[in-house]
């Protein structure tokens, strides 16, 4: 049984070129029967890849995919080092993978990248669609020397770093939606999930998960409960998945160093440049209660500032859900 996951990955690597490969040739390569090959193809499809079968020609992907490569990513990184990076083809979730390695004396900025997640999740436990070889899924370890309280606003700092990366690459209409969404013209392109472990004021660490849509299969649209987009749709040029992996790693590590030294304050004016809710009507969902007001940015702890009945109030990300209200008519 242990051979099965390995064979599925080997099959994906073979099909990545987008060319036809006969069942007989695949079976010979994997050392299995053609019936087993058919079963493996079904498992590949469960990972979000569209596989065609044509009688007499064999199997091929609907389109070729560029696989992530540790060595190429390391060459793009400023340090040129790969020792603080681990690439896995398929994981449950990259955040959970980091958590399982937490006793291994991880260095700050240690990163896990995956080609697919079978149990990817977003904020408040929502499923994060994570098809194989289409997007970027990474998680980064960061110690919190002053306890979990020092992480207030961390997701906003990372969101700013991702937004700035997209803007620098030529993406027009980049926006941030409090507390952890990156949008392009109102459609979600990336999300951040920060999970904390440890003591409020003692030893603690953060696991920062980032998902960036690069080339989401259109057929997955029905599985996503909000407007979305990807890099393929918003960039006029081709892109390199390995370059983008390195770019996210470098920008997130730099943002974490900056956040550790200065806190959220240094990010606030940068975050506000992308704020899609600035001076917009919003609904705050607190359990069964809904309160309405006008969003007026964030405070130094990462809370959302909302003016209600002339009074400026603060709402924290762990306590509420946020919705963009219908436009107010004067």
Residues with catalytic function: 123, 188, 323
What whole-number distance in Å separates Cα of residue 140 and Cα of residue 98?
Answer: 7
Could you give the residue ranges of the DSSP H alpha helices within the chain? 3-15, 23-30, 34-46, 70-76, 94-100, 154-168, 231-234, 241-262, 268-274
Q: Evaluate the omega torsion of the peptide bond into residue 179 and state whether it is cis, within 30 degrees of 0.
A: yes
Distance (Å, rounded) from C-alpha 215 to C-alpha 177?
A: 22
How buried is 124 (Cβ within 10 angstroms: 0-12 exposed, 13-18 middle, 19+ buried)? exposed
| Dihedral angle computed from the Cα positions of residues 241, 117, 233 and 170, in that order, rounded to the nearest 10 degrees | -50
Tell me how far apart the alpha carbons of residues 65 and 73 are, in angstroms, rounded to a whole number: 16
Please state the three-class secondary structure of 239-252 as a single string.
CCHHHHHHHHHHHH
**Residues 111 and 84: beta-carbon distance below 8 Å:** yes
Which uninterrupted H or E stretch holds 275?
A: none
Cα separation, 291 vs 287, whole angstroms: 11
What are the Cα distances from residue 193, in Å, to 9, 154, 196, 319, 326?
27, 10, 10, 15, 27
Find out whether 97 and 116 touch, Cβ atoms under 8 Å: no
Helix, strand, or coil (residue 30):
helix
């Amino acid at each position: 049984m242990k051979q099965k996951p390995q064979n599925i990955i080997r099959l994906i690597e073979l099909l990545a070129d987008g060319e036809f490969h006969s069942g007989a040739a695949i079976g010979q390569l994997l050392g299995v029967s053609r019936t087993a090959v058919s079963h493996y193809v079904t498992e590949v499809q469960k990972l979000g890849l569209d596989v065609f079968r044509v009688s007499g020609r064999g199997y091929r992907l609907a389109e070729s995919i560029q696989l992530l490569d540790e060595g190429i990513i390391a060459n793009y990184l400023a340090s040129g080092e790969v020792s603080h990076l681990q690439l896995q083809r398929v994981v449950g979730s990259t955040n959970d993978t980091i958590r399982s390695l937490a006793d291994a004396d991880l260095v700050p900025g240690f990163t896990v990248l995956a080609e697919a997640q079978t149990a990817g999740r977003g904020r408040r436990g929502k499923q994060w669609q994570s098809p194989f070889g289409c997007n970027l899924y990474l998680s980064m370890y960061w110690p919190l020397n002053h306890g979990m309280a020092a992480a207030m606003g961390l997701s906003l700092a990372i969101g700013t770093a991702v937004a700035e990366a997209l803007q620098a690459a030529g993406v027009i209409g980049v926006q941030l939606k409090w507390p952890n969404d990156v949008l392009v013209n109102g459609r979600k392109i990336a999300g951040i999930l920060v999970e904390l472990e440890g003591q409020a004021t003692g030893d603690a660490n953060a696991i920062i998960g980032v998902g960036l849509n690069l080339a989401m299969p259109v057929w997955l649209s029905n599985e996503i409960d909000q407007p979305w987009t990807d890099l393929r749709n918003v960039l006029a040029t081709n892109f390199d998945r390995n370059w983008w992996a390195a770019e996210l790693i470098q920008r997130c590590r730099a943002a974490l160093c900056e956040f550790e030294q200065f806190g959220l304050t240094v990010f606030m004016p940068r975050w506000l440049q992308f704020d899609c809710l600035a001076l917009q009507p919003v609904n705050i969902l607190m359990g069964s209660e809904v309160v309405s007001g006008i969003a007026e940015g964030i405070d130094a702890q990462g809370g959302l500032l909302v003016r209600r009945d002339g009074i400026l109030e603060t709402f924290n990300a762990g306590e509420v859900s946020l919705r963009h209200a219908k436009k107010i008519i004067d």
